[in-house]
Amino acid sequence: MERARALSCWNGKEVVVRPVGEVREELHLGEGRTNQNFIADCEGARCFVRVGSDLPFFGVNRAREQAASRAAHAVGVGPAVRHAEPDAMVVDFVDGKALTEEDLHRAGAEGPRSVLLAALGKTLRALHDAPVPPELEAFREEVGSVGWGGPHLEKWLRYAEDQKYSRLPLLANLRDFIKQLEHAAGPLGPNKFCHFDLLADNLVLKKDGGIMLVDFEYSAPGQPFMDLAVLAMGCSLTAEEERSLLSAYLDREASEEDLRRFKAVRVLAALRETFWGVTAELSRSSALSDAEALSYADAPGGLELAEG
């Protein structure tokens, strides 16, 4: 908390800084896994402060996160960045409510004409239509060949291979399995500006009914369906709820071909989540304890799919 109080942007003004955990329920906020998050009130203005260092094993770079945040704000889908330092960023506080998985289930059950899904589709289309920040392109080029899973899956998978990871039977024939999934997903389209961490609580429903995106630390060039698959997987959406989500995003009824392709991409999203856990287990550099990292990697999803 002292780091948040010491930021140069306050210029000696009186500032009240509170950890997000103290006001999460009051302000309807989500939680973070890799940052220390604070609410700061300074002379009548409320800001959100993120404090965190680079996480090289995870491909998290704060300069990239800041560039992605600014680019998202430029197209109206993210809060304005008011101040940035190498390990900290101050953004406007979004006056609204972080969504929950239950919100997404209810919206999905209502069908593609759900007001919430329509707003979400509009926001995601705007993000994906925005220019990819050059800092993010540089990360993709650094990783090299990237398929449907995006640069982070490739980075985490290579790390597990380099470390000869064997606690879980994940790596045997996995590259062939991924090729099968990517064939089922179909040809790659142009890389778009993707969020890649669309957990429900990274979606903020504003009072005017619009949806704002927050937490861009995993943003990268990628395929829009992967963004949707991360959201569907994280919220455990049913097949019908997925159909509603896809239809709202596409602004038309999702075809059977769309759904078939999306099913393969969702498996890739599950593998990506599993290898986040493997990276946490091997690197011991996340906010998770060793036991939590093991549990995360062991969670149903990617392991079951890889074995299947």
Listed residues 95, 114, 149: the one ending a domain: 95
Listed residues 63, 95, 127: the one ending a domain: 95
22 HSE (CA, 13 A, CB side):
10
* 22 lies in the same domain as 120: no
- Whether residue 6 is predicted with pLDDT greater than 70 in this model: the reply is yes
Residue 33, domain extent: 2-95
For residue 207, the Cα-to-chain-centroid distance in whole angstroms is 23
pTM of the model: 0.93
* 186 lies in the same domain as 280: yes
- The predicted pLDDT at position 155 comes to 97
Q: Could you tell me whether strands 203-206 and 220-222 are parallel, antiparallel, or unpaired per DSSP bridges?
A: unpaired
* 249 lies in the same domain as 138: yes
C-beta of residue 97 within 8 angstroms of C-beta of residue 211: no
Q: Locate tokens 């009072």: which residue?
A: 207
Across 278-288, b (16+ Cβ under 10 Å) vs e yields bbbbbbebbeb
* 110 lies in the same domain as 53: no
C-beta of residue 207 within 8 angstroms of C-beta of residue 95: yes
Span 177-204, pLDDT tens digits: 999 999 999 999 999 999 999 999 999 9
* 84 lies in the same domain as 102: no
Question: What's the CA gap between 123 and 75, in Å, rounded?
Answer: 9
C-beta of residue 34 within 8 angstroms of C-beta of residue 217: yes
Tokens representing residue 186 in the block: 């179909």
What total of structural domains would you count in the chain? 2
Listed residues 51, 72, 95: the one ending a domain: 95
* 111 lies in the same domain as 122: yes
* 140 lies in the same domain as 9: no
* 213 lies in the same domain as 239: yes
* 179 lies in the same domain as 78: no
Average pLDDT for 99-121: 97
CATH number at residue 33: 3.30.200.20
- C-alpha distances (whole Å) from 69 to each of 74, 160, 212, 293 are 9, 29, 11, 28
